[in-house]
Amino acid sequence: DVKVTQSSRYLVKRTGEKVFLECVQDMDHENMFWYRQDPGLGLRLIYFSYDVKMKEKGDIPEGYSVSREKKERFSLILESASTNQTSMYLCASSFGQSINGYTFGSGTRLTVV
Amino acid sequence: QKEVEQDPGPLSVPEGAIVSLNCTYSNSAFQYFMWYRQYSRKGPELLMYTYSSGNKEDGRFTAQVDKSSKYISLFIRDSQPSDSATYLCAMSGYSSASKIIFGSGTRLSIRP
């Protein structure tokens, strides 16, 4: 069964900490995405990548960075965590055109205290 | 104005009822229309997709697109408690570089 795996289901971090969220896919997909999901705001795109070592800003990149050193792995980095970054973070991957749809991971619920 | 608007609900209906979920959008360039289902504590999963206007049926689910009105719908017949989830509409353009734009989701609850 094809999968997008996010390393942690629940994470609690302190304000100011550097936080790494890891995502691995086993489908050889070239496209990978990071979203955050908040009640009433839906899915908001943070960063995406169409190839190894390539990254593009999404709609809300401030306070985040990403790394894609290998095709299967896409990491989201919170440089200095803040309480307004408390959210559900979802990683997704896809191949080809968007009609193929995205495969999502189960999400990481991050709480910043 | 958001590109995609979706009523957040919650929507609660009795088992066996027909459910209608809807989205409106503003971008005429959208060509592909999708519905994702998200169970609690899970990521969204692709339920159905359609291209341009028309209807598409898959079992108890029917997706409908009206491009002239910029309005899409998902109908669920003979709804089951297992259909209880959040449903997100999504759409994108034709270009290979087009990203998928998601609605904010409608929470649906089917009462036994």
Q: Which residue from B42, B51, B88 is facing A106, i.e. has the nearest CB?
A: B42
Beta bridge partners of A78: A19, A64
With CB atoms and an 8 Å threshold, state whether A101 touches B46: yes
Q: Kindly report the number of other CB atoms within 10 A of residue B105's CB atom.
A: 27
State mean pLDDT over B41-65: 92
Among residues A38, A28, A22, A20, which one has the least CA distance to residue A3?
Answer: A28
Mean confidence (pLDDT) of chain A: 93
Confidence tier at A68 by pLDDT (50, 70, 90): very high
Backbone angles phi, psi at A56, to 5 degrees: -135, 145
List the single residue in B with minimal CA-CA distance to A96.
B96
Interface mutation target, options B46, B51, B88, B91, chain A, most CBs of A under 10 Å: B46
Which residues in chain B are contacts of A48 at CB distance < 8 A?
99
Contact assessment for residue B57 and residue A63, using Cβ atoms and an 8 Å cutoff: no
Interface mutation target, options B36, B52, B104, chain A, most CBs of A under 10 Å: B104
**Per-residue pLDDT tens digits for B69-111:** 999 999 999 999 999 999 999 998 876 566 889 999 999 999 9
**Per-residue pLDDT tens digits for A30-67:** 999 999 999 888 899 999 999 998 899 999 999 999 99
Query: In angstroms, what separates the C-alpha of A8 from chain B's closest C-alpha?
Result: 13
